[in-house]
Amino acid sequence: MRKVQLFDTTLRDGDQTPGVNFNIQEKVQIARQLERWGIDAIEAGFPVASPGDFEAVREIANSVEKMRVVGLARCQKKDIDRAYEALKGAKLPQIHVFIATSPVHMEYKLKMTPDEVLESIAEHVSYAKEKFELVQFSPEDATRTEPEFLRIAIQTAVDAGARIINIPDTVGYSNPNEYGAIFRKLKKEIVCDEEIIYSSHCHDDLGMATANALAAIENGASRVEGTVNGIGERAGNTALEEIALALYIRKDYYEAQTKIVLNETKKTSDLVSRLSGVAVPRNKAVVGSNAYAHESGIHQDGFLKNPNTYEIITPTLVGVSDSSLPLGKLSGRHAFKARLEKLGYTFPDEQIAKFFKSFKVLADKKREITDQDLIALIHGNQSENPEYTIGQLQLQYVSDGYQGAIATVNHGEVQVTDSAVGGGSIQAIYNTIDRIMKSHYKLTQYRIQAITGGEDAQAEVHVSIQNDDGQLMNGVGIDFDVLQASAKAYLEAVANLKAMEGNE
């Protein structure tokens, strides 16, 4: 069984998903979970892009131990220098240098001739090699690059010191036959005395990202780049959970394996979905809620006789469990802490005490506490601005279809109460929070979902807001009460966006 590395770019390409804006705390949290999941390398960000990206890459570099931490850089010395500074603390640093090579990109975006592009590759890969032991090179838009020029560009990068060659299907243009042939050709024609790792990076514009990545593996690629849940630019990227499960279930065919801890898959997917605000479609492969549901009578009959008739992936394989959590309002802190550890969470005693207090409040309202409830409780108590909290919240009918809201926001020792009206309950609450926070942002997304089934399910609300400069911020609120969850989500987004504006 040959080894296939998984390179996660959720925090770089995934962070470019329209409406997604991970903060530093969230990026570190995701990075640590990716390490538990078994990811080989993580593209932590684009250090030169912004101070926030630089700090996130540096924090991740200092927070993980087993994964290789990668910084993205254009073929520019300032990018490479910035990546070097951000990755100084990494145990396993790597740089990823790229430049476009397709005719349309060279002419219209770069305004460079092919010879100038080749000169830039030679100069900047060599420069990166002086600072990093391991250099990866990507010819952006490789699948629309003339084949002979692609070969020359890659040979130039290899001669300059690149030992990882990534082939980006930047706009999702290719198909499995064409994409696989690129890897076959390069492995045959590129000359180097050392081993070259070939990597895929596929977008899903035509729905073939996973198929193309698997074709690359069949034709010699030993690394796959992608994201959790397939998030990313436009239609997204290769979904790494699909690659991991495809190689495991069809190891008879691919004869390849990854380091992925499969039963951490659903937890990883849920975390990225919650923090990104991008819901996982119910029919999503591997991690969708319908992936292990059987409604057809014929299917149900066959499944009950033998699950293998209609289920090639068992739910427990990816960490999906329908078992409930036998904890309630009489449960003690020790049992609570033990259950968190079983779910993979370890915290200092002071944080356990905080979570346990919230657990007790929830247990008084809910008859049955599930694993999903506990996970939501943990994430619901990890706001980046915990000093801002919702206090009392009161709604009342005004007249002519309007609703009024009275809300209290706690900020340290200070409590501020105000009121406002709106066309509905949510609008009234948000107008009130705006008055208290002296903010005026545009609400671009509001989404609500139940964490578990049943009439006593907790509500999870996701909101996205935007300021006049086009900066986006997400907020998540979790509560037994829908209106309270909505208020928490909006307050978190407003507080974080104001904090980001104040730091600029």
Q: Spell out the SS3 assignment of 267-307.
A: HHHHHHHHHHCCCCCCCCCCCCCCCCCCCCHHHHHHHHHCH
Please report the pLDDT score of residue 300 as a whole number: 66
Largest Cα–Cα separation, the chain? 80
Q: Which two tokens stand for residue 275?
A: 């923090």
The pTM for the full model equals 0.81
pLDDT of residue 320: 82
Predicted confidence at residue 240, as pLDDT, reads 98
Residue 343 confidence (pLDDT): 76
Look at residue 459 in the predicted model and tell me its pLDDT.
Answer: 86
DSSP 8-state code for residue 113: -
- The answer to whether residues 242 and 286 touch, using CB atoms and an 8 Å cutoff, is yes
**What domains, with CATH codes, occur in the chain?**
2-276 (3.20.20.70), 292-320 (no CATH), 324-380 (no CATH), 388-503 (3.30.160.270)
pLDDT of residue 145: 98
Residue 286's pLDDT is: 96
Q: For helices 147-159 and 114-131, give the axis angle rounded to 10 degrees.
A: 30
Give me the pLDDT at residue 503, please: 67
pLDDT, residue 302, reads 79
Please, are residues 60 and 28 in contact by the beta-carbon 8 Å criterion?
Answer: yes
Reading across the β-sheet that carries 414-422, which strands appear in turn? 388-397, 403-411, 414-422
Q: What pairs with residue 382 in β-bridges? A: none
Please give the chain's pLDDT, 504 residues, in tens.
999 999 999 999 999 998 888 989 899 999 999 999 999 999 999 999 999 999 999 999 999 999 999 999 999 999 999 999 999 999 999 999 999 999 999 999 999 999 999 999 999 999 999 999 999 999 999 999 999 999 999 999 999 999 999 999 999 999 999 999 999 999 999 999 999 999 999 999 999 999 999 999 999 999 999 999 999 999 999 999 999 999 999 999 999 999 999 999 999 999 999 889 899 998 999 999 888 876 566 776 776 788 788 789 988 899 886 544 567 777 888 888 888 887 778 888 888 998 898 888 888 877 677 777 887 788 767 654 567 899 999 999 888 889 999 999 999 889 999 999 999 999 999 999 999 999 999 999 999 988 777 777 788 899 999 999 888 888 888 888 899 999 999 999 999 899 888 765
CA dist., res. 263 & res. 261, Å (int): 6
Where do runs of H (alpha helix) occur along 366-448? 371-380, 425-437
Q: From CA 118, how far away is CA 86, in angstroms rounded?
A: 27
Residue 82, H or E segment:
helix 77-86
